[in-house]
Amino acid sequence: MLIEPCAWEGAWSGLEADNYAGLYGNRSSHPTKGFSMPKSYAIAAEDIAAETARVDGDLTNFDVSRVIALSDVELREMGPGDVHLRILAVSAEHNVDHAALADTVNIAEARGGKIYPGNSALGEVIAVGEGVTRFAPGDIAITHCNGEPDAHGYPLRIWAYDQPESIGWYGEEAVVADWQLIPAPLDCGLNLWEIAALPLRAPTAYHLWRRAIGIYRVKVERRQRSQLTVLGFGGGVSELFLMIAAQEGHRALFCSGSAERRAHLEGLGIEGIDQHEFNRFASRDDVRAFSKHVKGLTGGEGAHIVCDMLRGPVFAAGLQVMARMGVNVSAGWQLDTAANYNSANLSVRQLTLDHVHFETIEGSAAATELYGRVFRPTVHKEIYAFGDLPRAMEEMHQNVQTGIPIVQVAADLPDSVASLVP
């Protein structure tokens, strides 16, 4: 079964960046006239500096929970195109980890000393502006993190990260423009926590897949090679990426150190490989052993498509194991901002490396159609309370969770989702 991008009626399709602001208004740049003072988590540059000093610059001992702190936040006055949300649940995201560590860029400092993070959430609509027709009070919505679309719909900046003045969704309430929301697919067959795991990861995986398969098909047509071997490393985005590949009839391999995540994907027909068997690729011998293993699984050919981080310990392993004409796609900045490789070797092998950021608004809506049908995420066994969000982020940083971490923000959930709570 082929999964094609589809139009999202009444949303982004056909709009350009230079006129979307005129249609919807760049609400993030308007003066704030707060009507509500809910609690929200924040990351301050001074707290980053204090924790960095405490660990003497050694980020391996950095405690992310010391940097993410609960704070009052003044929500802007609602405009005609805005929606006021009560946040029900959020998922912990790696970009927040990077914001706390300031390991790739000190975004809190760049944003004036403090940011309110969180760009993946599920919420209940409690009020709408007079120009909003897609949502009404009582509706349940999910977010996407596209903060400023370019002329093609792709984000120039990410909401609650580098988009100026943006206030994220790790808080009790939020005000956002209606184009930043998608109706939550409550009838998709997933429970509430599984739905909350997907707003950021699903569009990322969807975008990674359609680029990876598109690039590969430029080089090798379907009539030449129908079924591909697709390999993914690690976490939530790779899981979803492989679910699409498997749904489209390809052989999918999931290389992870988490036995729980491997077991979940094996139940969906995706083969598991334990990273620990190869010492997480700590040496060249480990990389060679991994390559030999995958080549043995594939008749000596290797993986046609690899999803990794294009950096860190899995990068060399991902390159080594790729088949001729292969495509390596990546999203995120985890571990480093630089990648080194032998370009002559990749040229001879006809390999392509593709750096991906995030989907369009239209693509984010299309990815939502796959909830339950294709995307069945692994969720961490503990659902964190709102007060435990800093601990959830630190445990994600320590890589000790059994799946995607979810935080229940609202203590009381509306009746419309009560049946979805496992």
Residue at which a domain ends, from 356, 386, 404: 356
User: Which H or E element spans position 201?
Assistant: helix 201-219
Percentage of residues of the chain with pLDDT beyond 90: 71
pLDDT at 163 exceeding the cut of 90: no
- pTM for the whole structure: 0.88
| Residue 240 near residue 205 (C-beta atoms within 8 A) | yes
Radius of gyration (C-alpha) of the chain in whole angstroms: 21
pLDDT at 333 exceeding the cut of 90: no
- Phi-psi sector, 237: left (phi>0), alpha (psi -120 to 50), beta: alpha
pLDDT-derived band of residue 112, with 50, 70 and 90 as boundaries? confident
- Residue closest to 88 by CA, chosen among 160, 179, 164, 191: 191
Q: Tell which wins on pLDDT, 314 or 254.
A: 254
Q: Which domain holds residue 272?
A: 203-356
| Residue 61 near residue 29 (C-beta atoms within 8 A) | no
- Say if 7 falls within a structural domain: no
Percentage of residues of the chain with pLDDT beyond 70: 89
Q: Which residue has the tokens 């998922």?
A: 91
- Say if 5 falls within a structural domain: no
pLDDT digits (tens, 9 = 90+) for 250-266: 999 999 989 999 999 99
pLDDT digits (tens, 9 = 90+) for 42-98: 999 999 999 999 999 998 899 999 999 999 999 999 999 999 999 999 999 888 888
The total number of structural domains in the chain stands at 2
pLDDT digits (tens, 9 = 90+) for 384-410: 999 999 999 999 888 899 999 999 999
Written as one letter, the residue type at 173 is: E
Assess whether 240 and 142 both reside in one domain. no
Assess whether 213 and 69 both reside in one domain. no
Assess whether 298 and 342 both reside in one domain. yes
Please give the Cα distance from 196 to 404 (Å, whole number). 10
Tell me how long the chain is: 422
Assess whether 224 and 343 both reside in one domain. yes
Dump the DSSP string for 46-104.
Answer: HHHHHHHHHTTT-GGG--GGGTEEEEE--PPPP-TTEEEEEEEEEE--HHHHHHHHTSS
| Residue 246 near residue 351 (C-beta atoms within 8 A) | no
